[in-house]
Structure 1
């Protein structure tokens, strides 16, 4: 082999001649190399050597192995690949030319990076070697400062086994070999990613390996950790992003061309692209258009599952460099214009719609409703995509979009099912959803569920309601009846709720008018009766139903089978009557209970005011009517109230009102009332109907009737009953000013006398001087009775003079003293004037009297004839024991204890 296979001598001669011909050329070369050494390539040693190795591997067509080691104070970097040739040596010896045409290392000046650690670099290869030396160059030109890499000398050392080329760098003084190896280790992973023609890097025995499957590059570290990168490569650029379970976006990076530059980037992925660079390889040439590099970025994004793609959207922020700003704008523009967002089909971000609440179920339902809807949703998604000009879709806007939409009720149910969790999680508010469409059972769709009913019923019931066509009655379709609608104002209803609804009530109220105007109200009647059969409610009596005489209110109809038809006056039933009879065919379609529930009469009905329709009973039918009333618990109980009072006054039993009769067993009323004839009713029923069982004054009418009966001379009434009746009248708490006084009254002897000739006994001693046939008396307030009868008190008519007699204290009367002791009656104050015979002079006429009290009141001077009857009455009145007067009389006749006891 030639000792100078690469022609280094000719290269040296040429350079030395140039320096000799132009001394400034030497200075220029020295300065240029110094600039490279201390400037652009000061910290790019391993990058540049790895790039050269990758170029050699690409030229050889097989990925390279790179080994970095320190041997005998030399940093050695060996690689596989096409070995060094003469053109390569010429490139190494030039500061401005490169033999790597079409490769990444365009200028060939990168080898100057070795000068940062060595002034005696060398390269050995299988075809020979070359060495550079600062000392030998300085000797050749006799100058202190010289360029190192301009004069090559041949080197004849062997290449390590398994490698094709090795760079050997004797280290300058002060260079730490361990630090160099650590720097190489730190850069190994990035170099393997950026240089696909590198397969392995060995740094002092620590090995990094590169492998790839499809678009995923895996880099194994010496510790066994694996770093994975998903890449997308085009002729213009390589985009790469670390991946784990998904993308691990970069926070910051630098542009790589393919080796690192000083152009800082804020993109989530690494960009490796052979862009035009300044000779320093640190900055992009000013004016370079980088926008084309962004065209392939969406393709990288599309390689990830849908939700993971968002992390590759650049975050808002200030660019880190001018290049970063240009690239960010281009990437965002491409993401806006190219399809990459998941939807019914992949969508560009520009103009896409993003639901601002997170709900995959809702998005899926809306896929065919909202154009360009992204299948990802939620506030984070909306914020992330805002930078690429995707439009947020807020829930209120969504509700507007849904308004007027035609979908099956089951679709709406699914929509509500997706919205309810959002409402419960407070992601949306009830106000946001207030106008949410609600499909109705009648096929319409309302803008908002407020005022609708969630009514779960069978299809036939809904069909009946639909046919009824009740204005304002809005039933949500049962297939769409979801709890969300209830939260938004719909009311969960049963049949009773529908019957109570204002819309249906209004339809019921005008149903007769509608029927009379020719409208078909039969569907309404059927619907109401069906609902009433399920859940009875009150107040539906206005419902129009067919009768024998046309359409009538339900509460004006009687069932064809009702027992009331046998007791009502025929004139009350018919077109002009208060009631009519329900159509027989219609009645057969519904149960009596359902018909009764809307007011159709099957029996008497109790209302707040009593029992209705009693006034329609025929006169002769009252016994049967009373049997009907007694046969139902509700009407039976009602007879004890106002209804019973009405019947007592207005019903007819044997031609008279019940209150004009007495029960046969009520003999204490004999003479005052006649016993009721046998009308086939039990005493209990008769009593509730008002047939009298005892003496009672229940009102002014009752009082007037009693006064008439007392003044009827055709009646024979026992004196005791007369007295009890007058007492009952006087004790009744009634306003007598509203009652006419009777013309005739019943005297104490049972005779009837004109009221103007009668007087009311108010003081008992006066009875002895007044005719019994003109005297009215009762054990009650005499003044009250006189007021009632408009008859004077007897004391107002009598003025008397008494004869002289003998005054005796009560205690001096032996018989009185014995009687008082036996009866334990204290002696009253004073005494009594005793007369042999007591004759009272009244209006010049003397009348005999057993006793008298001379005073203007109840207490005064007592007079008595000298007889047991006279003295006993005077003593009983004076002592306040008037009720014991007859017992005192007996003791005065026979003052013996046995008289009291026997």
Structure 2
């Protein structure tokens, strides 16, 4: 067998070295074992593929690899430069390599084959070599472990057709061929990406092919085509998988143990330790980072963020260096899409909400705003120096911006879904600018009014300060969500801004401002909706601008009842301009306060003081003809009483013709053409009433007027009304004359007020004043809260003494005391009337006369002391006993019935 590679000399040299230095054999054995179980474990296909790639590069043509198991051998055939003597020397050396600048070309990495075989062979077109553990042990004459790859033997097996070299590895018994092929197949895709000089690898029946298309490396395999985006870099190559990587290792170009957390794979040209698992200490691996942004730019804008390194701790020292360099490059070089082209990440602005449409609208407004957006984009780009842009800052940027209303509506279209999705809050948008109908754009929808219609132009022309009417072309549901209010006419009429404008409108008109648009707008609004308190609105009068509630319609019936001096420049009212009035319906004008009839206010019916004295009957007819004023008149006639004049007198100086009970005190009102109920409501008297001191003074004057003839009952009722009025009489002068119980007039100093009913018999009727109702014999006095009786109150009012204070009496001693229970007639009456008998009894006199101031006077009954207690005396007559019994039993009102029953005790007396 020929020996083209001089293997015999190589063996002799190694054997001689082992013989001369026993430790060299041990060192070689240990070194090979270390390579087999350490650095090159699980790198079988990696190392063989690297050798094949080196061979293809040397040959200058893309290489092919075929991996198969035949007759218990793993066979790896490849194309490319064949085996050389230098290559064989490298195979047989644990510390040398035949590569010149290429890692792995028949160097120490070949030790990886020892993981599956003890008898490796390498066959090539130029010859072949074989290694054998058994033959080495025999040649070295040493038992136990020996270095398999130190002694090569020539081998002349033919190379498979179409290939230039084949590595044959008889598999040890503990190696499962199928499992081995499956594991090697898993490594193919990564190897084709990392080794550009390899074009095809087949493992068993599966084939993978590598091609480059449009900047991508395509690897077609049994599962389909996988495209890798690649970018040349100083000292390496960046490659992006179809999906960004979460973790990877540095490839140089085959996998190392340097863990990386970058989304793209780095295939770097860096020196490695002999194990090929770690880079050489002190190596700068950051040079490829400068090309990383170029790789990112090859992606569509929407996918570029996937290549931004995620935040987190580096997985290795190399990873930390590379991440820092990549982040720096992404911060400094343009790659982020924006409206003006790609920009660096450092200082870029990222919209914090997911709204590409909003980004598009803001592109020209926000410098360095990138096209990608959303909270995740902001989080990712923060790692490379970009700044988050949130909605409050966006709103601040928009403040003061001049854009057409339709532009703002488009913006609202974009923002509303964000609010509905809770991506932003209403507070974030609280200062959002809103275009108004008056061409201003002001911040903040809250308080703005959404209104549509022809009135908008008129309202805008009115220039109502503070009235924020949204431009109709910008009206949008978002504004309502943010506090704008859909406004109807009623809402506008109630708005504080319009109210304020109305309040100052007369002042504005007098200062020369044009308030006509405001008047027009308000009248249009009140034509559609009702409102109150708009009387301050400036409207044109015949003598200039006046408040609406100071104007009267030219056709109003009030003009016929008001005093002419009340209307005009110097009067409280004026007439609305006729031409202006003709342009508007009367309902709109009266709605803002223009008078067409009498108006009711909180204080009653207004403008009663402006009615001409001779026009009051007509004025009353007007008031009674309107429900509201009629109700107000019936509720409170004080305004009428103060102002009205009927036949030359105030209404309360007259009585209704039907009020005959007041005849003598009050004269009947003449026929003035007004209904009685209206006259009564206006204050014409229908009965006795003392409402105030003026009423009291008038009534006292009438009672003391000797020209008047007043019936006794009316006198008594009048005095009762005065006493019960509950007024403070200190401010009222006492009358000089008073009306006695018999209807005559007497000087006040000669009169006395009856305060004890039995005293009536002791005083002349023409000098006796009574406060009782129902006749000259009064009922027992009612007592006010003050404790004073009606008689006492009347005496104070009239400044007349009480009768009990004026007279004193002495009783005769000829009477006989009889208990009430022993008076048969009294007991019968008490039973008929269901009256309990009072305690005590009565002193019965055959005839009763009392001595008053030395003069004896007949009396039917008497009480010796006190109004309700004391000893009762009575003449033995029905009249005397009835009064004493009624007084003692506290049934004074029944005295006349008791008298009748005593006179005729027949029960029919009660019913006849």
The normalised TM-score by structure 2 is 0.83
Matched, 1:783 2:792: yes
Matches of 1:751 and 1:278, distance apart in 2: 146
2:165 is aligned to 165
Matched, 1:359 2:351: no
Matches of 1:820 and 1:107, distance apart in 2: 151
2:752, 2:768 within 8 Å by CA — same for their partners in 1?
yes
Cα displacement (A) at 1:543: 2.5
1:757, 1:774 within 8 Å by CA — same for their partners in 2?
yes
1:332 is aligned to 327
| Residues 183-209 of structure 1, C-alpha deviations (whole Å, 9 max, x = no match) | 534433322332345455444x35252
Moved more, 87-96 or 755-764: 87-96
Q: Per the alignment, do residues 319 and 544 of structure 1 end up closer, same or farther by CA in structure 2, a change over 3 Å counting?
A: same
2:14, 2:150 within 8 Å by CA — same for their partners in 1?
no
Q: Per the alignment, do residues 21 and 163 of structure 1 end up closer, same or farther by CA in structure 2, a change over 3 Å counting?
A: closer
> Does the residue aligned with 1:506 lie in a helix, a strand or coil?
helix
Cα displacement (A) at 1:571: 0.7
Provide structure 1 residue ranges, at least 5 long, that are not aligned to the other structure.
none
1:560, 1:582 within 8 Å by CA — same for their partners in 2?
yes
Q: Per the alignment, do residues 22 and 171 of structure 1 end up closer, same or farther by CA in structure 2, a change over 3 Å counting?
A: closer
| Residues 640-682 of structure 1, C-alpha deviations (whole Å, 9 max, x = no match) | 233x133135311222222222222222222222222222222
**How do 1:465-476 and structure 2 match up within 5 A?**
465-476=459-470
2:663 is aligned to 670
1:38, 1:116 within 8 Å by CA — same for their partners in 2?
no
| Residues 669-713 of structure 1, C-alpha deviations (whole Å, 9 max, x = no match) | 222222222222222212211222223333322222222222222
> Does the residue aligned with 2:727 lie in a helix, a strand or coil?
coil
Matched, 1:829 2:825: no
Cα displacement (A) at 1:613: 0.9
Matches of 1:840 and 1:22, distance apart in 2: 176
Cα displacement (A) at 1:519: 2.4
Matches of 2:625 and 2:277, distance apart in 1: 113
Matches of 2:357 and 2:559, distance apart in 1: 65
**How do 1:511-660 and structure 2 match up within 5 A?**
511-642=505-636, 644-660=637-653
| Residues 189-242 of structure 1, C-alpha deviations (whole Å, 9 max, x = no match) | 322332345455444x35252355836656677xx6457342315386443333
> Does the residue aligned with 2:721 lie in a helix, a strand or coil?
helix
Q: Per the alignment, do residues 874 and 69 of structure 1 end up closer, same or farther by CA in structure 2, a change over 3 Å counting?
A: closer
Of 77, 82, 85, which aligns to 1:84?
Answer: 82
2:438, 2:461 within 8 Å by CA — same for their partners in 1?
no
> Does the residue aligned with 2:45 lie in a helix, a strand or coil?
helix
1:573, 1:580 within 8 Å by CA — same for their partners in 2?
yes
1:19, 1:25 within 8 Å by CA — same for their partners in 2?
no
Provide structure 2 residue ranges, at least 5 long, that are not aligned to the other structure.
779-789
**How do 1:88-237 and structure 2 match up within 5 A?**
111=110, 113-114=112-113, 121-125=120-124, 129-131=128-130, 155-160=155-160, 163-170=163-170, 181=181, 183-198=183-198, 200-203=200-203, 205=204, 207-210=206-209, 214=213, 225-226=223-224, 228-234=226-232, 237=236
> Does the residue aligned with 2:846 lie in a helix, a strand or coil?
strand
Of 842, 851, 860, which aligns to 1:851?
Answer: 860
Cα displacement (A) at 1:570: 0.9
Q: Per the alignment, do residues 589 and 456 of structure 1 end up closer, same or farther by CA in structure 2, a change over 3 Å counting?
A: farther
**When the two structures are aligned, how many residues end up with a matched partner?**
883
Matches of 1:34 and 1:876, distance apart in 2: 148
1:453, 1:475 within 8 Å by CA — same for their partners in 2?
no
Of 738, 746, 754, which aligns to 2:747?
Answer: 754
| Residues 270-324 of structure 1, C-alpha deviations (whole Å, 9 max, x = no match) | 2224445566655556676554433443343344444443232123445455544
Matches of 1:41 and 1:844, distance apart in 2: 159
| Residues 316-342 of structure 1, C-alpha deviations (whole Å, 9 max, x = no match) | 445455544443333323323343323
Q: Per the alignment, do residues 97 and 736 of structure 1 end up closer, same or farther by CA in structure 2, a change over 3 Å counting?
A: closer
Moved more, 262-271 or 876-885: 876-885
> Does the residue aligned with 1:654 lie in a helix, a strand or coil?
coil
Q: Per the alignment, do residues 84 and 459 of structure 1 end up closer, same or farther by CA in structure 2, a change over 3 Å counting?
A: same
> Does the residue aligned with 1:234 lie in a helix, a strand or coil?
strand
Matches of 2:598 and 2:140, distance apart in 1: 140
1:378 is aligned to 374
Q: Per the alignment, do residues 19 and 616 of structure 1 end up closer, same or farther by CA in structure 2, a change over 3 Å counting?
A: same
1:832, 1:874 within 8 Å by CA — same for their partners in 2?
no
| Residues 61-85 of structure 1, C-alpha deviations (whole Å, 9 max, x = no match) | 465241232535x432223x34736
Matched, 1:712 2:705: yes
Cα displacement (A) at 1:799: 4.2
Cα displacement (A) at 1:110: 5.0
Cα displacement (A) at 1:457: 1.6
2:783 is aligned to none
Of 437, 440, 444, which aligns to 1:444?
Answer: 440
2:656, 2:685 within 8 Å by CA — same for their partners in 1?
yes
Cα displacement (A) at 1:793: 3.2
2:87, 2:106 within 8 Å by CA — same for their partners in 1?
no
2:10, 2:151 within 8 Å by CA — same for their partners in 1?
no
1:794 is aligned to 803
Q: Per the alignment, do residues 698 and 22 of structure 1 end up closer, same or farther by CA in structure 2, a change over 3 Å counting?
A: closer
2:450, 2:485 within 8 Å by CA — same for their partners in 1?
no
Cα displacement (A) at 1:503: 3.8
Matches of 1:550 and 1:593, distance apart in 2: 22
Cα displacement (A) at 1:619: 0.7
Moved more, 478-487 or 86-95: 86-95
> Does the residue aligned with 1:524 lie in a helix, a strand or coil?
helix
Matches of 1:806 and 1:280, distance apart in 2: 156
| Residues 446-475 of structure 1, C-alpha deviations (whole Å, 9 max, x = no match) | 3444xx523122254333333233333334
Q: Per the alignment, do residues 383 and 667 of structure 1 end up closer, same or farther by CA in structure 2, a change over 3 Å counting?
A: same
1:439, 1:480 within 8 Å by CA — same for their partners in 2?
yes
Matches of 2:311 and 2:896, distance apart in 1: 123
